[in-house]
Structure 1
């Protein structure tokens, strides 16, 4: 309804991927051949685009990855085209704070970090120091007894 699935289908077709039905209303475009993005799969609208086969994504031990991508489809449904700039702002925030695009990205966290192959990354050292200083009690401030 918001046009993002149409964009996902266009990207799939223009990249030579074959579109198949997945589960729960999600389409899977298999055989994506472009270099960008480098991930095994990514989602645009309700289309999960993968370099691998639909069978690879839908069966076996990758159920967590499909569920992760399906949650992104839900995010697209809720936000429509606003998802793109919001996602990239969240990537920038995550990179600035941890050096990883996904670890502090609110959309990746909501979709499930481990399902998407992300790990929880610590804050950059300078930010850890600032955070510790902000959390420690100030000197010279009266304490309650």
Structure 2
């Protein structure tokens, strides 16, 4: 086991490697021309990510946390790293890549209910909205969400 990694974190590292979710993250990082490094507790970082999607300070695929920022971004935000680590456990629990379409469905549901992809997203709520730097928005009628969307365009 690596330094600072528990037995369960080592199991998660192995399972997220075998279920191909971490490999998928590496492929996304390569396409986004990111730089890779080892993080804490069996996690890896992909920094300097160049693509504009998804729009997030950081996002996780398997045991890999990707960001457009440099490595210091993670060093300065240990709570955000814990939030992203919780997402890595979600990949573990959902046997890898099924997490991606389920996450997208949860984000769509949240957007329909609140106009925000995180506020009612089960995965973001389980990872802690606050730790992920999200502001919880109240549930609103579908019509208001649609009106807000079209008003922005």
- Range into which the TM-score falls when normalised by the shorter chain: 0.7 to 0.9
2:135 is aligned, of 119, 123, 131, to 119
Distance in 2 (CA, whole Å) between partners of 1:94 and 1:54 is 30
Which of the two has higher C-alpha Rg? 1
Residue 84 of structure 1 corresponds to: 100
Q: TM-score normalized by structure 1?
A: 0.81
Distance in 2 (CA, whole Å) between partners of 1:125 and 1:14 is 38
Distance in 2 (CA, whole Å) between partners of 1:66 and 1:125 is 33
Residue 42 of structure 1 corresponds to: 59
Name the SS of the counterpart of 2:120 in structure 1.
coil
Superposition pairs of residues 1-145 of structure 1, within 5 angstroms: 1-57=18-74, 59-60=75-76, 62-79=77-94, 80-125=96-141
Stretches of structure 1 that go unaligned for 5 or more consecutive residues are 128-145
Name the SS of the counterpart of 2:117 in structure 1.
coil
Q: 4+ runs of 1 displaced by more than 2 Å? A: none
- Output the aligned Cα RMSD: 1.4
Stretches of structure 2 that go unaligned for 5 or more consecutive residues are 1-17, 144-153
| Aligned residues between the structures | 125
Name the SS of the counterpart of 2:89 in structure 1.
helix
8 A Cα contact 1:32 1:52, kept in partner: yes
Question: Shift in Å at residue 125 of structure 1?
Answer: 4.5
Distance in 1 (CA, whole Å) between partners of 2:41 and 2:70 is 18
